[in-house]
Amino acid sequence: SVAPGKKFKCSLCTKVLKKIQALAGDDPDEEAVAAALQKGCRALGRTMGRKCQWLVKKYQSEITNGLQNGDMPQDICTAIGICRS
């Protein structure tokens, strides 16, 4: 069987999360993360933005928790099964 995020590349996931992490700032609360998720996807343009929206919808709680815990984008992408550890 194929991992859930297989069509979604590791490099794309980390790029998206780096952008979101930068927008959320240091020590973000849930609202800051939610705003960054929206803004981050829009900033990536149409094609990437669509993939970003899918990623955010599917893994919002994992991404939010990871960012609030100060996890690195690579680690978050690994945790949701898109990157290999």
Residue 70's pLDDT is 92
Task: Evaluate if residue 1 carries a pLDDT over 80.
Answer: no
How far apart CA 16 and CA 11 sit, in angstroms, is: 9
- Residue 73: which residues within 8 A CB-CB, separation 6 or more? 13, 14, 16, 17, 18, 21
pLDDT above 70 coverage of the chain, percent: 92
Structural domains present in the chain: 4-80 (1.10.225.10)
> In the structure, what pLDDT confidence band is assigned to residue 62 with cuts at 50, 70 and 90?
very high
- pLDDT at residue number 14: 94
